[in-house]
Amino acid sequence: MTATDWITAVLLPAGALFTLIGTIGLVRLPTPLGRLHAAAKPDTVGLLLILSGAAFQLPDISAAAPLLLVALFQFTTIPVLAQTLGRVTYSRGESSAERMVVDELADAVRHAERDSDAGPGEGGRPNTPGEPEAADGERPPGT
């Protein structure tokens, strides 16, 4: 047992614990958005800790570069997926409005409805995340 082995022995179970607690939250939490929250963040942290622990088992620092690539990739994609799933949950009306403290998307949806009543907007861009669409689903064809 060298020093790096001890670092690995601490980091790997810590990361697995984070992941396990997140998935327990995935089972236990009552609301869809709460489950989304529990699935997105602990998994990311747990994966980072496990990748760090694995990096300490490699022979030299350059061998750990691919692990850094995996970590960067998951760190960029998991928030994108969480945000997209949250928006879809909201637009399907499954987001338990009575538990919400602040509903910032409602204003945006109202503005979008008002703009779509005034006439179709410019261009046929598919709706990107962050660009609220009208609740009645007026999306340009081909998206």
Chain positions contacting other proteins, by CB under 8 A: 1, 5, 8-9, 12-13, 15-17, 19-20, 22-24, 26-27, 32, 35-36, 39, 43-44, 46-47, 50-51, 53-54, 56-59, 63-64, 66-67, 69-70, 73-74, 77-78, 80-81, 84-85, 87-89, 91-92, 94, 136-137, 139
> How many residues in the chain?
143
Q: How far is the CB of 63 from other proteins (least distance, A)?
A: 6
Query: Using CA atoms, how far apart are residues 16 and 48, in angstroms rounded to an integer?
Result: 10
Q: How far is the CB of 143 from other proteins (least distance, A)?
A: 9
The residue (of 17 and 97) whose beta carbon lies closer to other proteins is 17
Q: How far is the CB of 110 from other proteins (least distance, A)?
A: 17
Q: Residue 126: what residue type?
A: P
Query: Is the torsion defined by CA of 104, 106, 109, 114 positive or negative?
Result: negative
Q: How far is the CB of 131 from other proteins (least distance, A)?
A: 14
Place of tokens 């009552």: 30
3-state secondary structure (DSSP) of residue 92: coil
Give which of 24, 45, 23, 25 is closest to 34, Cα–Cα. 25
